[in-house]
Structure 1
Amino acid sequence: MKYVVMIFRGLDRAWTEADEQGLGRLQQLERELAESGELISSEGLRPPAEGRIVQIRDGQQVVTDGPFGEAKEQLAGYFMVDADDERAQAIAGRVSAAIGDRVELRGAVI
């Protein structure tokens, strides 16, 4: 089954040496998952200020530049993996350990 491991980051957090080390651990995990064939994709995401909301209203495309809402955290990146439930949870645990914070694990709708 396909799962996404979503990585969140506080909007007010400055980049630290610990973050740099966590990034190295995530890159190592990315290599391991690619070698095992479990990795579908993995990306870091640009900040919300660089995002856009795209929607159709009355038949016309409306584009709104970010940032959006009063969120304290942002989706900062993700790992998309193809694994059974137990393995996906173990991968999410490794991502959480690498970044030193919680992550969200969601399975794909089949």
Structure 2
Amino acid sequence: MKYVIMIHSNPQPWGHPTSEFLPAHQELPADVRQRLNADFERVLSELQANGELVGGEALGDPAAARLYRWRDGAPLASDGPYSESKEHLAGFFLIDVEDRSRAEEVAAVMSGPGETVELRPLMWPGGADQ
């Protein structure tokens, strides 16, 4: 089953890994930060070794984004960042795992202080409706 794991964050300044730029992560004891970072790297290595990682990318600063909305019968472009949101999509991972339980296990490891991690099944190909 395919899932996308989306990491929403608001690092200041914008940078990756986002956790390194978040006060909630920076305030953790050094040993806890090191464990969280090691767990993240471990799960990424597992996903790659198991063939479960389809892809993923870190995204650039939302201030560089262009938004397109439909207005008056035509697309209207405006500068980012996204309206009315403090957290922005910082990056994503596309995974293909055996079941939802494994997807939830991976998403839990990828979550951290000051970030929101969204797990969502894909519809096709190979998604929940297949």
SS in 2 for 1:90: helix
**CA deviations over 1:28-48 (Å, ceiling 9, x no partner):** 432321111000111111121
Amino acid at match of 2:120: R
The 8 Å contact of residues 43 and 78 in structure 1, kept in 2 or not, is answered as yes
Query: Does the alignment pair 1:71 with 2:85?
Result: yes
Q: Extract unaligned runs of 5+ from structure 2.
A: 15-20, 27-32, 125-130
Amino acid at match of 1:4: V
User: Could you say what the CA RMSD is over the residues aligned between the two structures, in angstroms?
Assistant: 2.9
Aligned residues: 107
SS in 2 for 1:81: strand
The 8 Å contact of residues 11 and 72 in structure 1, kept in 2 or not, is answered as no
2:8 counterpart residue number: 8
Q: Which 10-residue stretch deviates more, 17-26 or 66-75?
A: 17-26
Write the distance in 2 (CA, Å) between the matches of 1:94 and 1:68.
Answer: 27
The 8 Å contact of residues 11 and 22 in structure 2, kept in 1 or not, is answered as no
Write the distance in 2 (CA, Å) between the matches of 1:69 and 1:82.
Answer: 32
- The sequence identity of aligned pairs, in percent, is 36
The within-5 A match list for 1:24-63 is 25-54=39-68, 58=73, 62-63=76-77
The 8 Å contact of residues 7 and 76 in structure 1, kept in 2 or not, is answered as yes
Structure with greater proportional strand content: 1
Deviation at 1:56, TM superposition (A): 6.2
SS in 1 for 2:44: helix
TM-score normalised by L of structure 1: 0.74
Rate the CA distance shift 1:13–1:65 in 2: closer, same or farther, 3 A. closer
Write the distance in 2 (CA, Å) between the matches of 1:68 and 1:43.
Answer: 19
Q: Extract unaligned runs of 5+ from structure 1.
A: none
SS in 2 for 1:68: coil
SS in 2 for 1:31: helix
